[in-house]
Structure formats: C-alpha cells, structure tokens
Amino acid sequence: MIDDYLRYLQRVRELSPHTVEGYRHDLSSFSNFLAEEGIEAPELNNREARRYISSLTRDHRAPASVNRALSVLRGYYGFLIKQDKADSNPFISIPSLKNSGTLPEILFESEIERLLDDRAGGDDFFAVRDRLILELLYSTGCRVSELVGIDITDVSVRSGSVLVRGKGSKERLVFLGEKAKSSLGEYLPYRNARIRSAGTSASRALIVNNRGNRITRRSVGEIVRKCSKALNVPKNISPHTFRHSFATHLLDHGADLRAVQEMLGHANLSTTQIYTHLGFDRLKAAYVSAHPHAARRGNKDEI
C-alpha cells in the first residue's frame, strides 16, 4: 500500500520526485517501527500511533521533522480509508508539535560579497562553474533541486530570466542580476567545451560536472560547504542559506512581500512571512544597541 500511495502522489498529485522521496523515507521509517513492534499494518490504534510519534521525539528529531512525518502519515491513512484498507485515521487527532521558533540562518550582505569575492580568482572550469553556482543561488533564490534542473534552453540572457520547476512541477520565472549574467557568460564556453570533450553533446543541463553530465544536489552542497570554509564566519552554510539570504535582503531593501512570495515559489504567504521576522530581529538588535533608553546600562551615574 505504501508503493500504491507513492505512485498516487507522483501520478495523480503530480508531486516532484524529490518530494515523493521524502514521503518514502517517512513511510519506510513508520513501516520499520511497525515491524519492530509486531503491529499488524495497516490497522493501528491511537495509542500505538502516539507511541510512534513519541519515538521520533526520543530520537531527537526536530519539531519540524516530526510534524512533517505526522502530516505524511495523516495523508497516508486518508488514502487507505478511501481505498477501503483502513477504517479510521489514528493520526488525525494527534496535535502537531510547537515549532521551536528557530529562524533560518542567513548571510549578511557583507558576508555574501566576501564569499563571492573569495571565489573571484581562478579561471579554470571548476572555479568558473562554482562561482556561477553561488551567483545563481543568490541572484535567483531558487532551491538547489531547481538549480540542478535548469536546462540551457530555460535561460534567457536577453530578458535576464530563468525558467525553473519547483515543488509539484510548478514553473516560475526567476531573475538574473548583472553579476550572475557576467558569471554565466564566463561559464558557457567552459561548459560547451566540457560537453564536447566528454562526448555528452546531447546534454541539456546548464550546470554540468567534470564528465559533462548534469550536476547533482549533493555535489552542489559539497561545493557550497567547501566555499564556506574560506568565508571564516561561524555559520553552517548550505545552498538553502542563499535562498534565505535572498529573501531577507529583498525585504530589507523594501521589496513587496507578495512579490518575494512569487519569486520564491511559496504557495502560502505565511511561509514567506518568516523573513519579515528576520528583518524585525535585526532592527530590534540595532535599536537595543543604539537607543539610550532601550536597555539598562547598569551605571548609577545615569540614574
């Protein structure tokens, strides 16, 4: 039934392969729990369902991760009920965990400039390609899965835009800044030469690896981590850090929230609103550090 549900998600719901793989991971974890506990699937009572969710918490899974698994299982049992394979949904009454409120890590504008400047040197294939990857992540705000899926025909240098395919195979246009355009122009001759030498002339991918094939998400993550070591700031930088930074910097400079929502490809405005909190926290920190009456100074002479 898990395989049937995953096929339903892919063919009927048209979820992306990456999203379906996430569902598969959560459902496999649940299936392993049932086997270890000797519970006959799919019938499950509420107490057993709660025990499974509690086991995720004991494994130190983050609240967001536990809530995602809970959402997956609610959907799975809803599917089973429609298929007459289950009588009730044991997960429907289990409340989601409260989010810890941890805000995503971002890079300040000065840190972005330092990182990109640090990569400015070097004129071989790898240096030029890696510089373009960083520029595209920051210029477009796209997800790493969207970045690696870009085809050469998706890029319009004239209009300064790129067609990307997001969650649920939804398409949207993102934009190239002048620095990204410059990096792209520098990279394309290297890409074409690499494809010819590797004998992969049919490759449609914009970003390719040493063998001329489409680069993977994992490789992009490794490139970002390698580049971040040279940045010398105490932050855990990933490709998604550039997406967070992209949104925060746009809002800091007065961009409309709904426009940022469209550029990020968020289905709900509430998802985008977290970046307004990032800007608020930075403003509050500036206020507390600079305003004479913002905090106690601890100096009796001032009383």
Which listed residue (74, 129, 131, 143) is catalytic? 143
pLDDT of residue 217: 92
Residue 274's contacts (CB-CB under 8 Å, 6 or more residues apart) are: 103, 104
State yes or no: is 240 an active-site residue: yes
Which pLDDT tens digits describe the chain residue by residue (303 residues)? 899 999 999 888 888 888 888 899 999 999 999 888 888 777 788 888 998 998 888 887 888 888 899 999 999 999 999 999 888 899 998 888 876 556 678 888 888 888 887 555 677 899 999 999 999 999 999 999 999 999 999 999 989 999 998 877 789 999 999 999 999 999 999 999 998 888 776 689 999 998 889 999 999 999 998 887 766 766 788 999 999 999 988 888 888 888 989 899 888 877 787 777 666 666 666 666 667 666 654 444 333
Which listed residue (52, 76, 187, 275) is catalytic? 275
Residue 162's contacts (CB-CB under 8 Å, 6 or more residues apart) are: 136, 140, 142, 150, 154, 155, 156, 173, 174, 175, 176
Strand boundaries in 49-160, DSSP class E: 155-156
The token pair that represents 114 in the structure block: 């330092």
Which listed residue (61, 167, 181, 214) is catalytic? 167
State yes or no: is 143 an active-site residue: yes
**Domains observed in the chain:** 2-82 (1.10.150), 109-286 (1.10.443.10)
State yes or no: is 275 an active-site residue: yes
Q: Say if CB 206 and CB 157 are below 8 A apart.
A: no
The DSSP element (H or E) to which 162 belongs, if any, is strand 161-165
Beta bridge partners of residue 156, listed in sequence order: 161
Q: What is the pTM of this model?
A: 0.65
Which listed residue (74, 165, 244, 266) is catalytic? 266
Give the integer Cα–Cα distance in Å for 230 and 228. 5
Which listed residue (50, 114, 217, 240) is catalytic? 240
State yes or no: is 266 an active-site residue: yes
State yes or no: is 167 an active-site residue: yes
Give the integer Cα–Cα distance in Å for 165 and 228. 27
pLDDT of residue 300: 40
Which listed residue (129, 243, 244, 249) is catalytic? 243
